[in-house]
């Protein structure tokens, strides 16, 4: 799927996107990975590129405070609706760029981001590394001493073992060179039917994966995800 098609989804397809994301990580490995790195209880947390609230809702009930940021008002509309339905009051949702957050200096304990920071390089091919460096400078500004960054990035949807995606390779290399430790986990999608699996896979990942889902009759769609983390 092209960058333009993905941007259109982020701008207009919040509800269908959430229908897909709600099926992801049926094994619960994302929270396990976070807890192996840091105990989120009582922390002031930032969710960068929060989308419809995948990580925000996972951590909100345990955080002291959580602030969800994204550049898409459509994604944050769904995120806000989900947070309102949760009954929690320790959250804030706002449009913001990763590189310029409306946050005071040294005010947060954990910055977490799922499948988002790599877009700084993917969508800025000529200056991608510079934009990643700008983002890291901003993390050093907003996080307290010994604050933690945790990133989730794709290592292949439709794959049972991790692969390094060509369009994300510069980000992988930059993270490795800047002191981030890493591991990988499975975050498989589990759908209610083959029809749902094919429709939602085509919607976001494109026809090639949708066809692969149909041919393999995948109600459970395998996915590998990389986890990178470091302290500031």
Tell me, what's the pLDDT at 9? 87
Confidence at residue 4, expressed as pLDDT on a 0 to 100 scale: 74
Helices 207-216 and 194-205: crossing angle in degrees, nearest 10, is: 160
CA distances (Å), 141 to each of 31, 100, 129, in order? 26, 10, 19
Task: Please give the distance of CA 131 from its chain centroid, rounded to a whole number.
Answer: 18
Q: What is the pTM of this model?
A: 0.96
pLDDT for 3 = 65
In this prediction, residue 125 carries a pLDDT of 86
Angle at 96 between CA 33 and CA 19, to 5 degrees: 55
And the tokens for 228?
Answer: 């990178």
CA-wise closest residue to 172 among 160, 189, 158, 156: 156
Per CATH, the number for 3-231 is 3.40.50.150
CA–CA gap between residue 144 and residue 148 (Å, rounded): 9
Between CA 45 and CA 56 the distance in angstroms is: 9
Say if CB 131 and CB 121 are below 8 A apart.
yes
3-state secondary structure of 117: coil
- Residue 86 tokens read as 């949760």
H or E stretch covering 231: strand 223-231
pLDDT per residue rounded down to tens, the chain (232 residues): 666 777 788 889 999 999 999 999 999 999 999 999 999 999 999 999 999 999 999 999 999 999 999 999 999 999 999 999 999 999 999 999 999 999 999 999 999 999 999 999 999 989 999 999 999 999 999 999 999 999 999 999 999 999 999 999 999 999 999 999 999 999 999 999 999 999 999 999 999 999 999 999 999 999 999 999 999 9
């Amino acid at each position: 799927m092209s960058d333009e098609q993905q941007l259109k989804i982020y701008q207009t397809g919040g509800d269908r996107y959430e229908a897909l994301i709600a099926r992801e990580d049926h094994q619960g490995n994302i929270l396990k990975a976070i807890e192996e790195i840091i105990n989120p209880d009582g922390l002031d947390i930032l969710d960068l590129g929060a989308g419809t609230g995948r990580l925000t809702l996972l951590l909100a009930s345990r955080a002291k405070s959580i602030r969800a940021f994204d550049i898409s008002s459509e994604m944050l509309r769904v995120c806000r609706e989900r947070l309102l339905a949760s009954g929690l009051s320790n959250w804030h949702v706002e449009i913001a760029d990763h590189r310029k957050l409306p946050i005071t200096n040294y005010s947060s304990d954990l910055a977490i981001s799922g499948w988002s920071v790599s877009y700084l390089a993917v969508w800025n091919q000529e200056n991608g590394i510079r934009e990643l460096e700008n983002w890291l400078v901003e993390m050093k500004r907003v996080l307290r001493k010994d604050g933690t960054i945790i990133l989730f990035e794709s290592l292949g949807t439709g794959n049972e073992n991790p692969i390094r995606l060509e369009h994300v390779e510069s980000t992988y290399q930059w993270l490795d060179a800047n002191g981030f430790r890493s591991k990988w986990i499975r975050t498989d999608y589990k759908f209610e039917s083959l029809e749902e699996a094919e429709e939602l896979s085509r919607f976001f990942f494109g026809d090639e994966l949708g066809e692969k889902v149909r041919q393999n009759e995948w109600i459970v769609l395998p996915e590998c995800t990389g986890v990178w983390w470091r302290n500031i």
